[in-house]
C-alpha cells in the first residue's frame, strides 16, 4: 500500500476515502505545517496531498525524498508549487479543476454585489441600530445594463459571465486568446488589457496567477478604468498592488473593491479593513460542503490514478 502525506485536514468522508486506498498520514490538528515539517513528515511517503496554503518552493522540493512521485494540490490553482523544481525531481503535480467552478463564480458575484451595493457600510449601520432612511442613503452602483470586464475567460470566468448576464450586464473580456463563438456567446473580446479596463464599469479578476499577472492592477493600469469603477478579485491576491489600490479607493477613482483573496493571507492590508468601500471575505471561494468534498475526493483520485496508470488527467506539468 502506498503511503501519502495529507498536509491539511480534509472533509471527514474524504479522509476516510484516502485511508481506504493509501496509508495516509493526516494532519488531524490542521496545523499549518512548516516546510521543514513537510519535508520530514513526507520522508517515507510516495506522494503528498498538499493545500494551497503550503508554499512548496524550490528549496523545499529539492529536499523531498526520491520516493515522492506526485504532489496532488487541493486547489484549482498551483502557484504555491514550484513546477520547475518538481520537474527536476521527476515529481508530477496535479490540481482539482472543474469541481469548484460554480462555487467560486458565486463568490465572485457576491463580492461584486457587496462592493457595488455598499454592503459593508450597510452592515455597520444595521449593527448601530440608529440609521435613518433618506433618498440618498448609501446609494450604490447598479449592475443592470452596466459593462462587466472579465480578466480571464476560463471555466470560472465564463461561469461569472453567465451569472452576470442574469443581472442584465454586458460582458467584455480579455484572455490569452479569443474564445470560439460557442464559448464566447455575446461577450466582446478585447485584445489588450488597456482596452478592456477603459470600458469596465465593473471588473472581475478570474485569471490564473502567473509571473505576468502579478500586480497587474497597479498605479498605471488603475488610470485606465472609468472613474467610479467597481473591482472584484476572487482569483489570487497577488494580482493587485495594494498600495496603489488603496490610493485609488481613497481618491474615488475606484468606487469600491470586493475581495475574497489578498496578499499575505490571512494578514490583510490594514487599510482594506479600515476603508468603508472595501467588501472583504476570508477566501470562501470554494467553501461549500459539496465543492470542498468534491475537491478533496478529486485530489485523492489524482494520486490513485497516477499510481494505477502512471498518468493523471489533471496533471499540470
pLDDT in tens, 266-301: 899 999 999 999 999 999 999 999 999 999 999 999
CA distances (Å), origin 61, targets 45, 86, 281? 14, 7, 31
Average pLDDT for 204-224? 95
Q: What does the radius of gyration of the chain's CA atoms come to, in whole angstroms?
A: 21
Percent with pLDDT over 90 in the chain:
95
What's the confidence (pLDDT) of residue 253?
98
Is residue 5 classed as helix, strand or coil in its secondary structure? strand
Task: Say what the pLDDT of residue 90 is.
Answer: 97
pLDDT digits (tens, 9 = 90+) for 15-24: 999 999 999 9
Taking the CA atoms of 11, 154, 203 and 210 in sequence, report the sign of the dihedral they define.
Answer: positive
Give SS3 for 188. Answer: strand
What's the pLDDT score for residue 207? 94
Q: Residue 226: its pLDDT value, please?
A: 98
Q: How many C-beta atoms lie closer than 10 Å to residue 291's C-beta?
A: 19
Q: What is the mean pLDDT of residues 147-153?
A: 98
Q: Give the residue-averaged pLDDT of 50-70.
A: 96
d(CA 105, CA 155): 9
Q: Tell me 32's DSSP state.
A: -
Does residue 209 register a pLDDT over 90?
no
Across residues 72-79, what is the average pLDDT? 92
Beta bridge partners of 256: 230
Q: How much is the mean pLDDT over the chain? A: 96
Residues with a catalytic annotation lie at: 236, 265, 283
The answer to whether 164 and 109 have CB atoms below 8 angstroms apart is: yes
pLDDT at 79: 86
| For helices 119-128 and 101-116, angle between their N-to-C axes, nearest 10 degrees | 60
Q: Which pLDDT belongs to residue 208? A: 87
For the chain, list the domains and their CATH numbers: 3-99+288-309 (3.40.50.720), 101-280 (3.40.50.720)
* CA separation, residue 110 to residues 71, 103, 113, 226, 233 (Å): 32, 11, 5, 22, 11
Average of per-residue pLDDT across 223-233 = 98
Residue showing cell 483520485: 301
**With bands split at pLDDT 50, 70 and 90, how would you rate the model's confidence at 103?**
very high
Binned at pLDDT 50, 70 and 90, residue 210 comes out as confident
DSSP of 52-103, one letter per residue?
Answer: TT--B-HHHHHTS-TT--EEEEESS--TTB-HHHHHHTT-EEE---STTHHH
Residues 6+ apart with CB under 8 A from 231: 115, 202, 203, 205, 217, 225, 245, 254, 256, 257, 258
Output the pLDDT for position 235.
94
**How does residue 48 score in pLDDT terms, banded at 50, 70 and 90?**
very high
Whole-prediction pTM: 0.90
Give the residue-averaged pLDDT of 161-168.
98
Q: For residues 216 and 268, give the distance between their C-alpha atoms in angstroms, rounded to a whole number.
A: 18
| Distance from C-alpha of 149 to C-alpha of 172, rounded to nearest angstrom | 5
Average pLDDT value for residue range 250-267: 96
Amino acid at each position: 500500500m502506498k503511503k501519502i502525506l495529507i498536509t491539511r485536514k480534509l472533509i471527514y468522508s474524504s479522509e476516510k476515502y484516502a485511508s481506504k486506498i493509501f496509508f495516509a498520514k493526516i494532519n488531524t490538528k490542521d496545523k499549518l505545517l512548516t516546510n521543514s515539517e513537510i519535508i520530514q513528515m513526507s520522508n517515507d511517503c510516495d506522494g503528498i496531498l498538499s493545500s494551497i496554503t503550503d508554499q512548496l518552493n524550490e528549496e523545499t522540493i529539492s529536499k523531498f525524498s526520491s520516493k515522492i512521485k506526485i504532489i496532488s494540490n487541493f486547489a484549482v490553482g498551483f502557484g504555491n508549487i514550484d513546477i520547475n523544481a518538481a520537474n527536476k525531481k521527476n515529481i508530477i503535480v496535479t490540481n482539482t479543476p472543474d469541481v469548484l467552478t460554480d462555487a467560486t463564480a458565486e463568490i465572485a458575484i457576491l463580492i461584486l454585489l457587496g462592493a457595488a451595493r455598499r454592503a459593508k457600510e450597510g452592515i455597520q449601520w444595521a449593527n448601530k441600530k440608529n440609521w435613518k432612511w433618506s433618498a440618498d442613503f448609501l446609494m450604490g452602483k447598479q449592475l443592470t445594463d452596466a459593462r462587466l470586464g472579465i480578466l480571464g475567460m476560463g471555466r470560472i470566468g465564463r461561469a461569472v459571465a453567465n451569472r452576470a448576464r442574469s443581472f442584465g450586464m454586458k460582458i467584455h473580456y480579455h484572455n490569452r486568446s479569443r474564445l470560439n463563438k460557442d464559448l464566447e456567446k455575446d461577450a466582446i473580446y478585447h485584445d489588450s488589457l488597456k482596452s478592456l479596463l477603459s470600458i469596465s464599469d465593473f471588473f472581475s479578476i478570474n485569471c490564473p496567477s502567473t509571473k505576468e499577472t502579478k500586480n497587474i492592477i497597479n498605479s498605471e493600469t488603475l488610470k485606465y478604468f472609468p472613474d467610479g469603477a467597481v473591482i472584484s478579485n476572487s482569483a489570487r491576491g497577488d494580482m493587485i498592488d495594494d498600495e496603489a489600490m488603496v490610493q485609488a479607493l481613497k481618491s474615488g477613482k475606484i468606487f469600491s473593491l470586493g475581495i475574497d483573496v489578498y496578499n499575505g493571507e490571512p494578514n490583510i492590508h490594514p487599510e482594506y479593513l479600515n476603508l468603508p468601500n472595501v467588501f472583504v471575505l476570508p477566501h470562501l471561494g470554494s467553501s461549500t460542503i459539496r465543492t470542498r468534498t468534491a475537491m478533496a475526493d478529486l485530489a485523492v483520485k489524482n494520486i490513485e490514478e497516477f499510481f494505477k496508470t502512471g498518468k493523471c488527467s489533471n496533471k499540470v506539468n
